């Protein structure tokens, strides 16, 4: 099973799932598994838009007008709207556009503390949004925002009453405590999937991943299955752990 975009997104405007990308500029997370770098090499337009400083163009911002009440849209699938390097004013401008739309939107970040920072400044997250976070594991396999910070921020947002979701993609080897932390967050739903791009990540065995999925579902948490397969590079992965 290979699912490169979230299956719950509407497909009224794009076959792979509706997206809204009003923010340009280079993503500073620089995740090893990110596919945007490959797209930038292939397509000059992508390279131009996702290079340089964070910025918005009216043309990009106004693309939101095509979405209707029947659409479920992923905001900024090519960068992180809530990245630490994105000016607050740009975030507010995009949230204001989202707030006026009749559609439903998925926000997704690797820096969920920024949600809390934005809220503390008096900027309301629109009610037509689900607040998502990518949490690949409860182990810091890669140099990015520490996993414990992401887990804590998402639990805090859930406790504040915001609808939250967790994207465990690409899934990486995790400890037995991962499930407990996910229960603490109590997300509306979770998406689980393996790496699609051959990055030789430290992956769990498929049986272990399926055990995680079953445990979440038994707890009443909706799970969207994305790319599910046996782990690659077994010998290399075991040496890295």
pLDDT, tens digit, 9 for 90 and up, residues 29-83? 888 787 777 777 788 888 898 999 999 999 999 999 999 999 999 999 999 999 9
What does the pLDDT look like over 124-168, one tens digit per residue? 999 999 999 999 999 999 867 899 999 999 999 999 999 999 999
> Any residues with CB less than 8 A from the CB of 40 and at least 6 apart, and which?
46, 47, 50, 51
Strand 72-75 and strand 104-109: pairing? parallel
Q: Are 194 and 160 in contact (CB under 8 A)?
A: no
Report the domain count for the chain: 1
Specify if 132 maps to a domain: yes
Confidence of residue 233 (pLDDT cuts 50, 70, 90): low
| 128 class by beta-carbon count within 10 Å (0-12 exposed, 13-18 middle, 19+ buried) | middle
Which residue segment(s) compose the domain that 105 sits in?
A: 19-240
Specify if 186 maps to a domain: yes
Q: Are 74 and 6 in contact (CB under 8 A)?
A: yes
DSSP class of 202:
-
Specify if 158 maps to a domain: yes
Q: Are 172 and 202 in contact (CB under 8 A)?
A: yes
Distance, in Å, from the CA atom of 32 to the CA atom of 12, rounded to the nearest integer, reads 31
Specify if 14 maps to a domain: no
Give the pLDDT of residue 3.
56
pTM of this prediction?
Answer: 0.91
Q: Are 167 and 108 in contact (CB under 8 A)?
A: yes
Residue carrying structure tokens 């990055």 = 199
Least confident range from 21-30, 91-100, 157-166, 186-195: namely 21-30
Specify if 7 maps to a domain: no
Specify if 8 maps to a domain: no
Specify if 147 maps to a domain: yes
Q: What is the mean pLDDT of residues 184-205?
A: 95
CA–CA distance from 80 to each of 17, 23, 90, 109, 139 (Å)?
18, 9, 12, 6, 21
Compute the mean pLDDT over every residue in the chain, rounded to the nearest whole number: 92
Q: Are 158 and 135 in contact (CB under 8 A)?
A: no
CATH number reported for the structural domain that contains residue 152 in this entry: 3.20.20
Distance, in Å, from the CA atom of 72 to the CA atom of 67, rounded to the nearest integer, reads 9
Which pair of tokens denotes residue 133?
A: 């976070």
From the CB of residue 11, how many other CB atoms can be counted at a distance below 10 Å? 13
Q: Please, which residues bridge with residue 107 across strands?
A: 131
Specify if 24 maps to a domain: yes
Distance, in Å, from the CA atom of 76 to the CA atom of 22, rounded to the nearest integer, reads 7
Give the pLDDT of residue 1.
46
Q: Are 168 and 178 in contact (CB under 8 A)?
A: no
Distance, in Å, from the CA atom of 230 to the CA atom of 198, rounded to the nearest integer, reads 13
From the CB of residue 238, how many other CB atoms can be counted at a distance below 10 Å? 11
């Amino acid at each position: 099973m290979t699912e490169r975009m979230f299956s719950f997104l509407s497909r009224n405007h794009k076959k792979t799932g509706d997206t809204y990308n009003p923010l340009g500029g280079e993503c500073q997370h620089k995740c090893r598994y990110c596919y945007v770098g490959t797209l930038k090499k292939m397509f000059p337009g992508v390279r131009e838009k996702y290079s340089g400083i964070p910025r918005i163009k009216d043309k990009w911002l106004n693309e939101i007008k095509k979405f209707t009440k029947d659409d479920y849209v992923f905001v900024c699938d090519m960068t992180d709207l809530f990245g630490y390097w994105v000016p607050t004013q740009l975030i507010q401008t995009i949230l204001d556009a989202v707030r006026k739309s009749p559609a439903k939107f998925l926000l997704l970040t690797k820096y969920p503390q920024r949600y809390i920072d934005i809220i503390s400044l008096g900027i309301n997250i629109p009610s037509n949004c689900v607040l998502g976070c990518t949490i690949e594991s409860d182990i810091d396999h890669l140099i990015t925002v520490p996993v414990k910070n992401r887990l804590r921020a998402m639990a805090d947002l859930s406790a504040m009453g915001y609808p939250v979701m967790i994207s465990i993609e690409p899934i990486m080897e995790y400890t037995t405590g991962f499930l407990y932390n996910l229960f603490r967050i109590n997300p509306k739903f979770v998406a689980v999937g393996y790496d699609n791009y051959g990055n030789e990540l430290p992956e769990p065995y498929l049986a272990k991943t399926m055990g995680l999925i079953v445990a979440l579902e038994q707890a009443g948490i909706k799970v969207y299955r994305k790319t599910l397969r046996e782990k690659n590079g077994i010998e290399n992965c075991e040496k890295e752990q």
